[in-house]
Structure 1
């Protein structure tokens, strides 16, 4: 943005969401002069910076939700929001899939909703589909190739997609099993650290339960982890299960690939990264 007059000597502006000042048309100063700290223009810029931070966080959360749920997103909507730098920052270089199910890295969107993507052959393609998905990585058959190609291109993603930890459901889960006990007994951090990690993962902690909510195949599924402990003892991870919003617990064969992956990711992130049995055998 441009520079605004702040008194007879200084001008102020917002640079990377931070208020900076300069004298006249000179170079920006390293610190904000004491005389400007309570100036009305500085206060207005601080409020704008706070709003921009909230807006950026909201864009990130929304795109992350689209990706985790792999819901179809209208390309016309992407065309409307793309000019906004906050939206563009979180959407650029995400892997998108069109009607032909060919994946590519999103590079540009026209006002009419036409997408320009780079495929695994390095070719720039145009997608004119009505909707596209931003698939969860567990659903990407070419995940390893996409990761390698992203490294070659120097791609960085604001939304954790390609380098998100994924867990594939074993083919031999028992038909009537309803719980995963791989992480039972895993030591958990302090309550404060646990809450901070859960928030960073997009999960919720209520009492001795931690939940991760996923929209998959037209229904909302909650991965639920039990936390064992009290005020006087250390906390450990208990069993992990999945249920629908009406409370019905799912048998493990009924759990979809995304809900399974996100539930296991939650338990692994809180319980030290590996099932307890794997740690004992290491």
Structure 2
């Protein structure tokens, strides 16, 4: 049988489940119809433990795990902004989970010295052994044949607003959050940086467990009372941390200030935090703040 998996959307042919029913997958769940083709609102009791239903449910779960793995790897490429061999993209393009994530991401050719050819950037539309097909920033079809490309974090893209407008004009809907990912640019002055670090301080959660759950569900680690975001950038690991509290998970807690450190735990001055780490750290702080209640708001 042929199965297509695109995010939450799955479509496949109908599979016999005994003499009376056929089953399929729709929107990530197993559905059934009669052998005569009448759609059923729910699975009949007779199919509850049928081996065909069990098999499809296991397949759906595997595909969800597979998509999560693909997404995590693709986002790692973007956040690190490291060169990705075009041959690797061509190989994974045949996988529909990968293709749904990578289609329409902005890619930039990388030369042998590691430099980015931003002028040749484009929206990824196709990939095979001959290179990567893109729509360039003039709206023309082009082909990238460089050995490697970068999938830039949006904070590193010049003229980001113009790129967003361009993508909107084309009706682009990225499977991976890149162009429309929230970004924060590090202020040039000390006062501005201090203000940003404290900007999302003070949100209250009625229960610590709610803050912990919000952090974990967004992909952040929670350790020692802090939510942590690690970013590998420019050859170093920068750790962004936000205090969310520790102790009884049912007790009220308050979100603290954002801070940055190196992998050894030594504090990194705000002026020395690289752009992606700064943006991702503020993004985490904003997410934790938005899930709570303002300190002075009753």
Asked whether the two chains share a fold, i.e. TM above 0.5, the reply is yes
Alignment of 1:212-251 (within 5 A): 212-228=229-245, 231=248, 234-251=252-269
Counterpart of 1:135 in structure 2 is: 152
Q: Secondary structure at the match of 2:279?
A: helix
Distance 1:243 1:265 in 2: 16
2:184 to 150, 167, 183: 167
- Please list the CA deviations of residues 38-96 of structure 1 after superposition, one character each: whole Å capped at 9, or x if unmatched: 11111111111110111111111111111111111111011111011111111111111
Q: Indicate the RMSD between aligned Cα atoms, in angstroms.
A: 2.4
Moved over 6 A (4+): none
Distance 2:261 2:54 in 1: 48
1:185 to 202, 206, 225: 202
Distance 1:126 1:16 in 2: 34
C-alpha displacement of 1:140: 0.5
C-alpha displacement of 1:257: 0.3
Task: Note the residue ranges of structure 2 that are not aligned, 5 or more in a row.
Answer: 3-12, 111-116
1:149 to 149, 152, 166: 166
- Please list the CA deviations of residues 186-230 of structure 1 after superposition, one character each: whole Å capped at 9, or x if unmatched: 334632332232124321122421110111111221101123576
Q: CA separation of 1:234/1:7 partners in 2, compared to 1, >3 Å: closer, same or farther?
A: closer
Q: CA separation of 1:118/1:39 partners in 2, compared to 1, >3 Å: closer, same or farther?
A: same
Does residue 262 of structure 1 match 2:280?
yes
The number of residue pairs the alignment matches comes to 272
Q: CA separation of 1:42/1:227 partners in 2, compared to 1, >3 Å: closer, same or farther?
A: closer
- Please list the CA deviations of residues 116-175 of structure 1 after superposition, one character each: whole Å capped at 9, or x if unmatched: 11122111110011111111110000210111112112211222111111111111127x
Counterpart of 1:3 in structure 2 is: 14
Aligned residues of 1:75 and 1:113 also touching (Cα < 8 A): no
Aligned residues of 2:206 and 2:251 also touching (Cα < 8 A): no
Distance 1:84 1:200 in 2: 26
Task: Note the residue ranges of structure 1 that are not aligned, 5 or more in a row.
Answer: none
C-alpha displacement of 1:17: 3.3
Aligned residues of 1:208 and 1:228 also touching (Cα < 8 A): yes
Counterpart of 2:102 in structure 1 is: 91
Using the TM superposition, name which of 196-205 and 65-74 deviates more: 196-205
Counterpart of 2:214 in structure 1 is: 197
Q: CA separation of 1:185/1:11 partners in 2, compared to 1, >3 Å: closer, same or farther?
A: closer
Q: CA separation of 1:40/1:186 partners in 2, compared to 1, >3 Å: closer, same or farther?
A: closer
- Please list the CA deviations of residues 227-269 of structure 1 after superposition, one character each: whole Å capped at 9, or x if unmatched: 3576486322222221121222212222100001111111122
Q: CA separation of 1:20/1:234 partners in 2, compared to 1, >3 Å: closer, same or farther?
A: closer
